Amino acid sequence: MIKAAPDPRLFTELWVSFAALIRSYVAAHDLGRPTGHASIDDGAEGRLSIRAEKKVLAIDFDGSSGKGEWTLYENVPGPERVLATGRFEFSADSTVKFSDRRGSVELEIAAEAFTARVFDEN
């Protein structure tokens, strides 16, 4: 039996939910911080950027394939400021697989992991 490919609209909907979760987690982090706040764009057209005091996380997503890439920068984007990079992929069951982790995680855990990359002091 041949497994049918998921409808690409599914990945687009998962991206919208994923971006909303990340925005919520960034807002929650900001509530607990006495100084310095993060900013986040609207996640339109498969691109989401989170800017915190010392880091910028850029996330690019392809809704037709369910795959994306992320880059963490020091202060401002630029090739000489790259701290880390990776890939991720959504599955039809709404789990996410990261290139730097084993196995898949739920959408909420993946959103939390991205948010932690920006706020982690290490």
List pLDDT tens digits, range 29-81.
888 777 767 888 877 788 999 988 888 999 999 988 999 999 999 987 777 78
Tell me whether residue 1 is in a domain: no
Mean pLDDT for the chain overall: 86
> What's the average model confidence in pLDDT over 82-87?
94
Domain housing 31: 8-119
The pLDDT value given to residue 1:
54
Per the structure, the count of domains in the chain is 1
- Region label for 8, one of left (φ > 0), alpha (ψ between -120 and 50) or beta (otherwise): alpha
The pLDDT value given to residue 89:
95
pTM: predicted TM-score of the whole model, two decimal places: 0.85
Q: Rank 38-42, 91-95, 99-103 by mean pLDDT and report only the highest.
A: 91-95
As a whole number of angstroms, the distance between CA 122 and CA 112 comes to 16
